[in-house]
């Protein structure tokens, strides 16, 4: 009985670690593909477009942010 409870804890911890790692990897890949699509990668590094264009991009996201 104790062995099955311990095995359950191991499965929960392993699933949490593996799931978190997989989620982080997928979100990282999505972020990179988004930045590549919008031309934010290249030139002088990831943040190659400074100024008004960058402000315009961020204002689209901030418009829907909660106050």
Sign of the CA dihedral with 30 first, then 32, 33, and 39 last: positive
- Dump pLDDT digits (tens) for 3-25: 899 999 999 999 999 999 999 99
Tell me the Ramachandran region of residue 51: left when phi exceeds 0, alpha when psi lies from -120 to 50, beta otherwise: left
Which is more confidently placed, 57 or 5? Answer: 5
pTM of the predicted protein model: 0.52
CB 40 within 8 A of CB 48: yes
Where do the structural domains in the chain lie, given as residue ranges? 2-62
Query: Which pLDDT does position 19 carry in this prediction?
Result: 96
Average pLDDT, integer, range 28-35? 89
Give the residue, 49 or 35, on which the prediction is more confident.
35
DSSP helix/strand/coil, 51: coil
């Amino acid at each position: 009985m104790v062995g099955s409870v311990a095995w359950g804890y191991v499965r929960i911890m392993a699933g949490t670690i593996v799931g978190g790692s997989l989620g982080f990897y997928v979100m990282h890949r999505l972020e990179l593909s988004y930045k590549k699509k919008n031309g934010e990668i290249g030139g002088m590094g990831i943040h190659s477009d400074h100024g008004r264009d960058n402000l315009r991009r961020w204002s689209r996201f901030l418009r829907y942010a909660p106050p």
